[in-house]
Amino acid sequence: MRLKSLISLVAFFVFGGVVMNELEFSDLLEKIKDYSEEDIKQVTKAYLYAKNLHDGQMRQSGEPYIIHPLNVCYTLAVMHADCNTLCAALLHDVLEDTPATYEEIEQEFNTDVAKLVDGVTKISNIAFSSKTDRNYANIRKLINGFTEDVRIIIIKLSDRLHNMRTLQFKRPEKQKEISIETIEIFAPLAYCIGAYRIKCDLEDLSLMYLKPDEYKNIVDKKQTIENRSNKLLVEMLKSIEEALNDRSIPNEIKIKTKNIYGIYRQLNAGHKISDIHDLLALRVMVESINDCYQTLGIIHSKYRPLNDKFKDYIYNPKTNMYRSLHTTVFGKEDKLVQARIRTFDMDLVASYGLPAYWYLNKECAREKMQEDLINKWQSFDALVEINNAFLDNQEFVTKVKQEVLSEKIYVYTPKGETMELPKGATPIDFAYKIHTDVGNTMVSAIVNDEIVPIDYELKNGDIVKIQTDELEYGSREGWLDKAHTTYAKRKIKEFNRK
């Protein structure tokens, strides 16, 4: 099927009950009707301000340009974003594409709005040797801004999402260029903040342009499996729902299937589509953590579990704040079905990530977002470390891709603490992540009760114990080449200089 036919599959994507390419300002006002009168007044002012500045400008689709910031703002309003974030979304292109200045925005609105707009604005007042250099500098600016205020990346992800939804109006080579950047930078950033819905949409839209034939093939297979499995899943849903109701456990259950890019990755790794254990899923939402574990027992009493596919992300949350119980069970006809059991609040975070804090934490949402980003996202320190280590923008972006935005592994200390590391990490990286002194005094490593070489590549689920000796330092010759993370390499260099 040609790409234009594929685009028709997602051209009328519905988000929050409104068809995105038919969005009007009245739809935004309806979405924020529960905001304060002053907030609605400010959002209206920002819309009119942006509409006036973008007057006469058109998108490549032929639509007035204001349609784009309006869509970006609406996506954020669905997530209950604060007033300043909504205003910044409406104004996010005015510094780049209109005569407006930072000082004017600050005066018309406030410093917070001006900083957010500046954070998502591309650098335009510096001479670069090439377009590529400019692009690396802008990615660096965006990522560094995100460490200071996570709302910057949330606005940018909403911006990229609408651009991907309207990518059919770009030239084919531009479509591929933007899709590659999206899959390498923006989808992983969405994962970092737990914005699963945005991540999946960005991945699927990118795949549609990068691998249109494979995309269409997976869409067809997925549809066939959904049609064949729907009766089975509905029966399981009703059975579990009835058991929960009998025990007076308030609940809501939804049928879900894996996103297209997720299936593509599994198939690309050599798996058959019938072997993907989380292809079909039931999302079970209850009120309390105690209800979650009761529900797990009820499901296991009805359906035989696949023992090695149980994950407790409530007791051990993922570093992007995701919490849920995962169990894979055998349904009728021995079909594998994954059950994801979580509270209603956990489900909000699982869907939207840090942006869910706007709904859950209300007035202190921004502070709570930033606090959890710094304290719970283990790659935050790595990002700061890379920024300090690399002056060259291309080297910075390359290292961030390798170490922060790449596939992660999750290993454990002997006490059961979860440690997140980039794929390819060794016991040296693990030791220095625990503490500098542990790395400096490491003499050997034990993984899963067996001594391993220090350049052993750690794998998901490994239990790692570092043996140290304060008097007998381990040999540092060659360690620099065997370490994977920027932090470990810096500490080894510092140790060798002593």
The single residue of 30, 55, 63, 96 carrying the catalytic annotation is 96
Q: Are 284 and 339 in contact (CB under 8 A)?
A: yes
Separation of alpha carbons 55 and 47, rounded Å = 12
Q: Any catalytic annotation for residue 345?
A: no
Per the structure block, which two tokens stand in for 312? Answer: 């407790």
Residue 320 DSSP code = T
Q: Any catalytic annotation for residue 24?
A: no
Q: Where are the alpha helices (DSSP H) in 79-124?
A: 83-90, 94-97, 102-108, 111-120
> What angle is formed at CA 231 by the lines to CA 226 and CA 234, rounded to 5 degrees?
100
Q: Sign (positive/negative) of CA torsion 114, 119, 121, 125?
A: positive
Q: Sign (positive/negative) of CA torsion 493, 440, 485, 123?
A: negative
Q: Sign (positive/negative) of CA torsion 157, 162, 165, 170?
A: negative
Burial class (CB in 10 A: 0-12, 13-18, 19+), 292: buried
257-284 in b/e form (b: 16+ CB < 10 A) is: bbbbbbbbbbbeeeeeeeebbbbbbbbb
**Element spanning 30, H or E:** helix 25-31
Q: Which residues pair with 185 in a beta bridge?
A: none
What are residue 60's phi and psi, to 5 degrees? Answer: -65, -15
The single residue of 39, 97, 241, 312 carrying the catalytic annotation is 97
* Residues designated catalytic: 96-97
